[in-house]
Chains A and B, each alone.
Chain A
Amino acid sequence: NAGVTQTPKFRILKIGQSMTLQCAQDMNHNYMYWYRQDPGMGLKLIYYSVGAGITDKGEVPNGYNVSRSTTEDFPLRLELAAPSQTSVYFCASSYSEGREQYFGPGTRLTVT
């Protein structure tokens, strides 16, 4: 099992550009999550999904979009990148609500 995989590992964007952060899991988990982590600020939930076709906003969804067409994949889309979106992004999955979350290795994004 690869667990949770994320691509790319690093990315530099110019202001106004768009990109998609990829996330995939092979554990057949229904629940998937996107977090951002800023220095000294912990993990903030951006979006989550409780199954294919079902997504909902977390604490900091502005500037992001998600889709969940399959159980395995949960891409995060950034439209019109802004410097405030410079962060490390983590994707996670869990078997059910409130259970252990398995995290990917993260994507470090810089917007300049």
Chain B
Amino acid sequence: TQLLEQSPQFLSIQEGENLTVYCNSSSVFSSLQWYRQEPGEGPVLLVTVVTGGEVKKLKRLTFQFGDARKDSSLHITAAQPGDTGLYLCAGVSGSGYALNFGKGTSLLVTP
């Protein structure tokens, strides 16, 4: 199993602040996905990054895939309470059948 380390594990911020969460591995992934999971629900895909150095934006969320395709970051600008949730990164290895999930970053945004 190729390990994905996510940091920080927990993050509590106030509305309007910016934040960055990280997803790191010693392994190369063919692609990396970011999911958000709200309490009592299953994860929902936010974005997939495929190319090393790729940057994707989803409204206030900016995702970056490392040049070597071993790491990724998620930056949220002006966080809102609706951003609260568990953010999971998941990597696709060469075999491709299953996703390797990180343990997640639990984000709480308070008004």
Q: How far is the CA of A44 from the CA of B1 in the complex (A)?
A: 10
Contacts between chains A and B (CB distance < 8 A), count: 56
Q: How far is the CA of A82 from the CA of B1 in the complex (A)?
A: 25
When distances are taken between beta carbons in the complex, the residues of chain A under 8 Å from B99 are 43, 45, 98, 101
Q: How far is the CA of A98 from the CA of B99 in the complex (A)?
A: 7
When distances are taken between beta carbons in the complex, the residues of chain B under 8 Å from A48 are 97-98
Q: How many A residues, CB 8 Å from partner?
A: 26
Question: Would you call B30 an interface residue if the criterion is a C-beta within 8 Å of the partner chain's C-beta atoms?
Answer: yes
A97→B101 contact, CB < 8 A: no
Write out, one digit per residue, whether chain B residues 41-73 have a CB within 8 A of any chain A CB (1) or not (0): 111110010000000000000000000000000
Q: How far is the CA of A56 from the CA of B92 in the complex (A)?
A: 17
Question: Would you call A50 an interface residue if the criterion is a C-beta within 8 Å of the partner chain's C-beta atoms?
Answer: yes
Minimum CB–CB distance from B49 to chain A (whole Å) comes to 12
Minimum CB–CB distance from A50 to chain B (whole Å) comes to 7
A97→B96 contact, CB < 8 A: yes
Write out, one digit per residue, whether chain A residues 17-42 have a CB within 8 A of any chain B CB (1) or not (0): 00000000000000101010000111
Question: Would you call A58 an interface residue if the criterion is a C-beta within 8 Å of the partner chain's C-beta atoms?
Answer: yes
Given contacts A97-B97, A106-B40, contact A42 B45 (CB under 8 A): no
Question: Would you call B31 an interface residue if the criterion is a C-beta within 8 Å of the partner chain's C-beta atoms?
Answer: yes
